[in-house]
């Protein structure tokens, strides 16, 4: 890569919020290696706001599928849009063969990424995706790829950087939802897009919220998409103190603005868990079916709550047995972790 002296670089970002956050150190490494280059990231619309808080990206292109980039004609349309930008290099953080097809059709001279999904022949710089690299933390998975391509890492810390516009937005949202910034705000994300096997019990979230209300006069906010509304409604209904349900009521940009005002965040393994940690919010992360060794929020300002059972991590969307990995995690486990977090503030 260095020999090419790339001045105009395209990064194909990942499609999901948590994955997008975990690519940030790789993006920083690309910037560190090409400080004068123009760096554009191509992403789906629902992750774009992540990169609006990333200082290492100059421009964001939206891959609108579903939308104008649907189907073969849409793919050709996108390739044409990229061709007009005259990129020197494309670095594919996404693993799919589709990403390689798009940049090949766009005529981008250097096309780099892991050799996953049989796309090696479409890449000019192919990185072998070994069994060992698939077992490391996802931050290191993406970092290792760009290091192999010659990029100089800028560290593995994951940070999102809200600025004055986000702070002003947070103030507006606090007023809209009747929240007092002077109170201890605790965010919770009781849902999980991947499937119910990642979800701790809603009634236990309620109990933790109640105990934080008793001990710290905490105001609990529930974050998530509209698909998490039923779960959030259960948490809200079982709690003795009022809980503010924000599921489906905010954009990702708005959610991040409010999350940045939380003193702590309690979450299943989810995209919002990664966002909270990247915003610097102390995070209690509850893991059951998934592997905290590969997808825990990086950094020191978090606590993983997990019980070692023989069948975990199974990585299944639905538990085929007795859900013991989550059932063994009691209210005390999560509440005690939250108190430890608050004690460190």
Chain CA centroid to CA 76, Å: 29
Query: Which candidate, 15, 108, 105, places its Cα nearest to that of 65?
Result: 15
256 within 8 A of 233, measured Cβ to Cβ? no
| pLDDT the model gives residue 10 | 98
Q: Which domains does the chain have, with CATH numbers?
A: 2-148 (3.40.50.2000), 166-344 (3.40.50.2000)
Burial of 326-340, coded b for 16+ CB within 10 Å and e otherwise, reads beebebebbbbbbbe
Phi, psi of 41 (to 5 degrees): -115, 135
For residue 156, how many other CB atoms are within 10 A of its CB?
18
Best CA proximity match to 184, nearest among 232, 221, 235 = 221
Contacts of 137 (CB under 8 A, 6+ apart): 22, 293, 294, 295, 296, 298
The tens digit of pLDDT for each residue in 150-209 reads: 999 999 999 999 999 999 999 999 999 999 878 899 999 999 888 889 999 999 999 999
The pLDDT score that the predictor gives to residue 218 is 96
Element (H, E) at 99: helix 97-105
φ/ψ region of 212 (left if φ > 0, alpha if ψ in -120 to 50, else beta) reads alpha
DSSP 16-49: SHHHHHHTHHHHHHHHHH-TTSEEEEEE-GGGHH
Q: How does pLDDT run along the chain (345 residues), one tens digit per residue?
A: 444 569 999 999 999 999 999 999 999 999 999 999 999 999 999 999 999 999 999 999 999 999 999 999 999 999 999 999 999 999 999 999 999 999 999 999 999 999 998 998 999 999 999 999 999 999 999 999 999 999 999 999 999 999 999 999 999 999 999 998 788 999 999 998 888 899 999 999 999 999 999 999 999 999 999 999 999 999 999 999 999 999 999 999 999 999 999 999 999 999 999 999 999 999 999 999 999 999 999 878 999 999 999 999 999 999 999 999 999 999 999 999 999 999 865
What is the value of pTM for the model shown? 0.94
Cα of 275 vs its chain's centroid, Å: 5
Which residues 6+ apart lie within 8 Å of 264 measured at CB?
186, 187, 281, 282, 283, 284, 338, 341, 342, 345
């Amino acid at each position: 890569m260095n020999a090419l002296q790339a001045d105009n670089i395209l990064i194909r970002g990942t499609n999901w919020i948590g994955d997008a956050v975990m690519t940030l150190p790789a993006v920083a490494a690309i910037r560190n290696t090409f400080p004068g280059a123009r760096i554009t990231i191509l992403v789906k619309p629902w992750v774009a706001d992540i990169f609006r808080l990333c200082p290492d990206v100059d421009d964001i292109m939206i891959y609108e599928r579903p939308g104008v980039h649907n189907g073969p004609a849409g793919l050709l349309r996108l390739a044409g849009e990229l061709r007009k930008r005259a990129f020197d290099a494309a670095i594919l953080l996404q693993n799919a063969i589709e990403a390689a097809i798009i940049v090949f059709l766009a005529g981008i001279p250097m096309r780099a990424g892991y050799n996953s999904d049989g796309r090696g022949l479409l890449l000019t710089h192919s990185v072998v995706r070994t069994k060992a690299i698939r077992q490391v933390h996802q931050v290191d998975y993406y970092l290792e790829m760009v290091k192999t391509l010659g990029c100089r890492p800028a560290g593995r810390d994951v940070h999102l950087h809200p600025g004055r516009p986000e702070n002003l937005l947070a103030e507006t949202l606090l007023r809209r939802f009747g929240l007092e910034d002077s109170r201890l705000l605790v965010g919770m994300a009781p849902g999980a897009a991947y499937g119910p096997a990642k979800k701790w019990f809603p009634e236990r979230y309620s109990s933790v919220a109640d105990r934080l209300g008793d001990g710290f006069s905490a105001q609990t906010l529930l974050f998530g998409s509209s698909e998490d509304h039923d779960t959030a409604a259960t948490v809200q209904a079982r709690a003795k103190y009022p809980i503010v349900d924000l599921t489906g009521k905010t954009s990702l940009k708005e959610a991040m603005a409010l999350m940045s005002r939380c003193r702590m965040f309690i979450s299943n393994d989810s995209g919002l868990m990664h966002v909270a940690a990247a915003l610097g919010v102390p995070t209690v992360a509850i893991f059951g079916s998934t592997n905290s060794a590969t997808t825990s929020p990086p950094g020191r300002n978090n606590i993983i709550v997990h019980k070692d059972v023989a069948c975990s991590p199974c990585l299944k969307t639905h538990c085929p047995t007795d859900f013991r990995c989550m059932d063994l995690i009691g209210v005390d486990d999560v509440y005690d972790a939250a108190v430890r977090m608050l004690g460190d503030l």
